[in-house]
Amino acid sequence: MSKKRVVHYINQFFAQIGGEEMAHVQPEYREGPIGPGLAFNAAFGDAAEIVGTVICGDSYFNENMEEAKAELIEMIDAAKPDLFIAGPAFNAGRYGVACGAIAEAVLQQLDIPVLTGMYEENPGADMYKTGVYIISTRNSAVGMRDAVKKMSALALKMLRQDAIGSSIEEGYIPRGIRVNLFEKERGSKRAVDMLLKKLKGEPFTTEYPMPDFDRVPPQPAVQDISHAKIALVTSGGIVPLGNPDHIESSSATKYGKYDLQGVSDLTEATYATAHGGYDPSYANADADRVLALDTLREFEAQGKIGSLYRYFFSTVGNGTSVKSAKAFAEDFSKELIKENVQAVILTST
């Protein structure tokens, strides 16, 4: 029996083209397996083989998503695969979004099985987990061997058209889909077993995991705003013209700190947005619409606020992971506390 045909998607890093400096590379097709594809090929054995690899830079894909998907779909379709695999992306945000987006597009347009893998906190996981199977991986490429093992096992099941088990059995991120099944033991016994394990402090797995909401208690109101020092922070991507820190338009891995000394208006000639998740026209025409510096300068002059902190902090919220956002805030909040900033105005899009 001939081997099943598989096409694999990877980014510029795993294709050994380069790192961030080469994230602009456009889609291309290469024969056979590359990088992690070699490990997949070994895991498939005689059942399947990677006949081709499609490659695209993370920045190019996320900044030109529709065009990139169209180009890649044409290449993938020409290879006539029986299955499509993307990644694994681990915790690389833009790579994860690209893997999820192209996998979903292949499933919808070519109607073949698709599979990808990434860390559960990757923004791509939250965006695409209900549409495609995403194997849960570790947060870095250190977990490549385990990721390939789990992804290849599920891929072979798909190729054989075997029934796909639950997320716990197969290792994919839960998709929010419920199905009826028969357990070996009745519910009352399972519930008592879990209760006993919990009372003994032993590990157990709930059958109905609750969502994990990150609740932040609000701080007390500022007692005297007319004497308070206020800082501006935004996830709307407002940056000096030219985006000097090269903050990504999606799945940001960094934030910027910018001086407002002597600045009272964010003009079209000096500021713009780096955000790729909304129409930038209005923000680029007047960045005060996202970061209201002009109004706060008026309040400062009128004595309605004590003062405006000299610097503002900016990043892009589009597809950025919660983990990254927390890390940004923990970092610059140290400076705000040290400088006795009493309030922060956080703006989005």
| Residue (of 44, 42, 49, 41) closest to 4 by Cα position | 49
Identify how many contiguous H helices and E strands the chain contains and give both numbers.
11, 12
Whether residue 200 is contained in a domain is answered as no
Q: Of 154, 170, 186, which residue is a domain's last?
A: 170
| Residue (of 325, 301, 303, 323) closest to 313 by Cα position | 325
Q: What is the pLDDT of residue 277?
A: 79
Looking at the structure, tell me whether residues 123 and 22 fall in a common domain: yes
**Separation between Cα atoms, residue 71 and residue 67, nearest integer Å:** 6
Looking at the structure, tell me whether residues 295 and 229 fall in a common domain: yes
For position 158, which CATH number holds? 3.40.50.2300
Looking at the structure, tell me whether residues 18 and 154 fall in a common domain: yes
Q: What is the pLDDT along the chain (349 residues), one digit of tens a residue?
A: 589 999 999 999 999 999 888 989 999 999 999 999 999 999 999 999 999 999 999 989 988 999 999 999 999 999 999 999 999 999 888 899 999 999 999 999 999 999 999 998 888 898 899 899 999 999 888 999 999 999 999 999 999 999 898 888 899 998 887 777 788 899 899 999 999 999 999 998 888 777 666 777 888 899 999 999 999 999 999 999 999 999 998 878 899 999 999 999 999 999 999 998 788 899 999 999 999 999 999 999 999 999 999 999 999 988 787 778 888 999 999 999 999 999 999 998 8
Whether residue 29 is contained in a domain is answered as yes
Q: What is the pLDDT of residue 1?
A: 57
Looking at the structure, tell me whether residues 41 and 130 fall in a common domain: yes
**Separation between Cα atoms, residue 84 and residue 110, nearest integer Å:** 10
| Residue (of 57, 40, 35) closest to 5 by Cα position | 40
Whether residue 188 is contained in a domain is answered as no
Whether residue 258 is contained in a domain is answered as yes
Residue-number span of the structural domain to which 96 is assigned = 4-170
Whether residue 202 is contained in a domain is answered as no
Write out the H or E segment, with its range, that includes residue 346: strand 343-347
Question: Structural domain tally of the chain?
Answer: 2
Looking at the structure, tell me whether residues 309 and 231 fall in a common domain: yes
Whether residue 198 is contained in a domain is answered as no
B/e letters for 310-324, b = 16+ CB within 10 Å, e = fewer, are ebbbbbbbbbbbeeb
- The verdict on pTM exceeding 0.75 is no
The angle formed by the CA atoms of residues 152, 154 and 156, to the nearest 5 degrees, is 70
Whether residue 201 is contained in a domain is answered as no
Looking at the structure, tell me whether residues 10 and 151 fall in a common domain: yes
Looking at the structure, tell me whether residues 242 and 324 fall in a common domain: yes
34 Cβ contact partners less than 8 Å away, ≥ 6 residues apart: 8, 10, 14, 15, 16, 53, 55
Whether residue 213 is contained in a domain is answered as no
Looking at the structure, tell me whether residues 139 and 12 fall in a common domain: yes
Q: What is the pLDDT of residue 306?
A: 95
Q: What is the pLDDT of residue 175?
A: 87
Q: Of 146, 170, 194, which residue is a domain's last?
A: 170
Cα 216 to its chain centre, rounded Å, is 22
Looking at the structure, tell me whether residues 145 and 244 fall in a common domain: no
Look up residue 93 and give its two tokens. 């945000």
Residue 242 Ramachandran class (φ > 0 left, ψ -120 to 50 alpha, else beta): left
Looking at the structure, tell me whether residues 138 and 229 fall in a common domain: no
Q: What is the pLDDT of residue 211?
A: 67
Q: What is the pLDDT of residue 90?
A: 92
Looking at the structure, tell me whether residues 161 and 289 fall in a common domain: no
Looking at the structure, tell me whether residues 229 and 305 fall in a common domain: yes
